[in-house]
Amino acid sequence: MINETRQLAAIDLGSNSFHMVVARLQNNQLQTIDTIKEMVRLAAGLNTQNILSEKKREEALECLSRFGQRIKDLPAQNVAAVGTNTLRKAKNSADFLEAAEKALGYPINIVAGREEARLVYQGVAHSLAQTEDYRLVIDIGGGSTEFIIGKAYKPIMMESMNMGCVNFTQKWFDDGVVTESRIKRAIIGGRRKLEWISDEYQDHGWQECIGSSGTIKTLARILSENYDTHGQIDYEHLKKLADLFAQAGHIKHIILPGLSENRAPVIVGGLCVLMAAFEELQIESMQASEGALREGLLNDMFESSKGRDIRLNTVRDFEVRYHIDVAQSARICHSALQLFDQMENISPEHDTLRLLLLWAGKLHEIGLSISHTNYPEHSGYIVEQSDMPGFSRELQNTLGLMLRLQRGKLKTDLIEAFPRRLEGIEINILLLRIAIILERSRDWDASRKIKIKWEDKKIKLKFPKKYLKAHPLTRADLEQEIQESAKLGFDLMIK
C-alpha cells in the first residue's frame, strides 16, 4: 500500500531517452514535483545480432545510478520502472537488467508492446480533459511507435510497431546524409509497416488525434517557432519541415529554433515516422500532449494503492473468456494461500509471490479451453503469449512457468533456463502443486485444516488425525509429490 505522505517515482527506460518523474499524493491527487530526462539512446547500442554494446550499457547504468540517488529513500512499492522496445529486443537484456537494478536500487520490468501502448494511453488520457470523443494516440519512441484508439480512460485498439526515431534514423540516414529521396523512402517504409492496421483503425475512426513523446513535442515546438502553428501539427507543415531537412543536406546541419542539440541527431527519423502515420492513417491534424508512459505508470500505482489493481481485472477477464470453473479455481486459491500464509521469510518478494500464487490458482485450468490433454502446457502458453494488461513480460513468463509445472513430472530444466527468476518461485510451484492435489475431488472439505512448517529446505505438512487414512488417493499423490519436490531441493514430509 502506497503511503500518502511519501513520493512516487516512475522510470521509463526508453530506446531514445530515460525518463523519471517523481510525484506526491496530495488530497487524493497526483502532483508532479520533479522530472529528470537523459538522452541515453539505448537503441543505438544494439548491433545486428541485437546485442547491447558495453559502451551503451555503461552509459545506461551511469544514468540509472543518478536516478537511484534521487529516489534512494523511497519504499519499493512506491517505485515503478519499465524497459521498452530495445530491452525487449536485446538478447543480453537479462544480464543488463541485473546490473541495472543494482544501479537503480529497484526492480525493473520489461513490458510487452501492447502493455506499453496501454500505459501510454493512460498517461495521455489522465493529462487531458475527459470527453466522449474517440481519440487516436500516437507515441513515437526511439525503437517503437504505439498507436492507440480509446475513449475516456479506456483503450480500445492498441498496437506497437517496430519503428522509432532512433532505428529509422539508423536505417535510412545511417551516414547522416539527408535528401528528399531518402526521406520519401523512409516514409514509404513506415507506411508499409502501418498497412496492416490502417484499414481497421480508419474503419473505427476518431474525433481527435493526440501525439505523445519527446519527438512529437519537439516537432510541435519547431513548427510553432518557425511557422506560428500554435502547437498544432498538420501534414502541410510537416512537409515544409521535411523540405528544410533535405535542404540542410546532413543531420549535423539541421539547426532550427525549437530543436534542441540532444534531439537533433534523431529528429529526421522521427519526422519520417510521423509523416508515414499521417499519410497512411489519413490524419488531418494532431495536438501534442504532456502525458506519456511514465504518467501511465504513476496512475497504475495510484490505482493499485486504492485497491483497483488492473492485473486482477485482467485475470477476471481471462476467467470469463476461457470459461474457467471459478468454483474450482477458488478452492485451489484457498488451499494454496492457506499454506502460503503460514510461512514466513520465504523471500524479499513475498507480496509478489503471493499475488502470483493467487493468479496461478485462478488460471491453472485455462488450458482446458484448448484440450484436456497436456492442459498445463497449454495454460502456460496462453498466459505467456496473450496480451495481459497490467502485467510485465517477466511476470507473465513467471506465471506461465508455474502453470506449466502445476502437475506431473517436474521439469526442472525449465526453471534452470528461466532468466532472472524470482527468489522463492520454487515454493510457489510446490504450493500450487500441493493445492491441486488436495482439491482433486473438486469439492469443499471444511474439515481439513492443514498446518505447514517451514525451515530452510524442510517442509512438513501436518494433516488432521486419520485424514490421510480416509483419503488414500490424496495420500498416494502426496507421496509421489515427495519425490518431485526433491527435484526442487525440498525435503517434503507428510504427517
Q: Give 12-55 as a DSSP string.
A: EE-SS-EEEEEEEEETTEEEEEEEEEE---GGGGB-TT--B-HH
Helix residue ranges, H only, 282-392: 293-305, 310-321, 326-340, 350-363, 375-385
Helix residue ranges, H only, 249-321: 267-281, 293-305, 310-321
Cα separation, 40 vs 17, in Å, equals 5
Q: What is the pLDDT of residue 399?
A: 95
Q: What is the pLDDT of residue 403?
A: 96
pLDDT at 3 over 70: no
Pairing of strands 79-83, 109-110: parallel
Please report how many Cα atoms fall inside a 13 Å half-sphere around the Cα of residue 268, on the Cβ side. Answer: 32
- Provide the residue type at 20 as one letter: M
Mean pLDDT of 388-402: 92
Q: Which of 200, 194, 193, 187 has the alpha carbon at shortest distance from 156?
A: 200
Q: What is the pLDDT of residue 310?
A: 87
- The tens digit of pLDDT for each residue in 50-71 reads 999 999 999 999 999 999 999 9
pLDDT at 1 over 80: no
- The tens digit of pLDDT for each residue in 270-285 reads 999 999 999 999 999 9
Q: Is 417 exposed, middle or buried (0-12, 13-18, 19+ CB in 10 A)?
A: exposed
C-alpha cell at 364: 491453472
pLDDT band at 160 (very low <50, low <70, confident <90, very high): very high
Question: Does residue 224 contact residue 258 with C-beta atoms inside 8 Å?
Answer: yes
Cα separation, 396 vs 393, in Å, equals 5
pLDDT at 5 over 60: no
- The tens digit of pLDDT for each residue in 280-305 reads 999 999 999 989 999 999 999 888 87
Q: What is the pLDDT of residue 129?
A: 84
Mean pLDDT of the chain: 92
| Percent of the chain predicted with pLDDT > 70 | 99
Q: Which of 15, 2, 160 has the alpha carbon at shortest distance from 82?
A: 15
Please report how many Cα atoms fall inside a 13 Å half-sphere around the Cα of residue 34, on the Cβ side. Answer: 12
Cα separation, 8 vs 15, in Å, equals 23
Question: Does residue 269 contact residue 190 with C-beta atoms inside 8 Å?
Answer: no
Cα separation, 295 vs 125, in Å, equals 10
Cα separation, 85 vs 143, in Å, equals 6
| Percent of the chain predicted with pLDDT > 90 | 78
pLDDT band at 476 (very low <50, low <70, confident <90, very high): very high
Q: What is the pLDDT of residue 422?
A: 82
Phi, psi at 111, each rounded to 5°: -100, 145
- Coil, helix or strand at residue 188: helix
Q: What is the pLDDT of residue 111?
A: 93
Cα separation, 450 vs 462, in Å, equals 6
**Hunting for cell 477477464 — which residue is that?**
317
Cα separation, 171 vs 174, in Å, equals 6
Cα separation, 332 vs 352, in Å, equals 18
Contacts of range 409-412, beta carbons closer than 8 Å, 24 or more positions apart: 409/484, 410/484, 410/485, 410/487, 410/488, 412/487, 412/488
pLDDT band at 307 (very low <50, low <70, confident <90, very high): confident
Instruction: Give pTM, 2 decimals.
Output: 0.85
Q: What is the pLDDT of residue 2?
A: 52
Contacts of 136 (CB under 8 A, 6+ apart): 147, 148, 149, 201, 206, 208, 209, 210, 281, 283
CA angle 105/109/115 to nearest 5° reads 145
Cα separation, 353 vs 364, in Å, equals 16
- The tens digit of pLDDT for each residue in 240-264 reads 999 999 999 999 999 999 999 999 9
Q: How many residues does the chain have?
A: 495
Question: All domains of the chain, ordered by start, with CATH?
Answer: 7-111+295-302 (3.30.420.40), 128-289 (3.30.420.150), 309-494 (1.10.3210.10)
- The tens digit of pLDDT for each residue in 336-360 reads 999 999 988 788 888 889 999 999 9
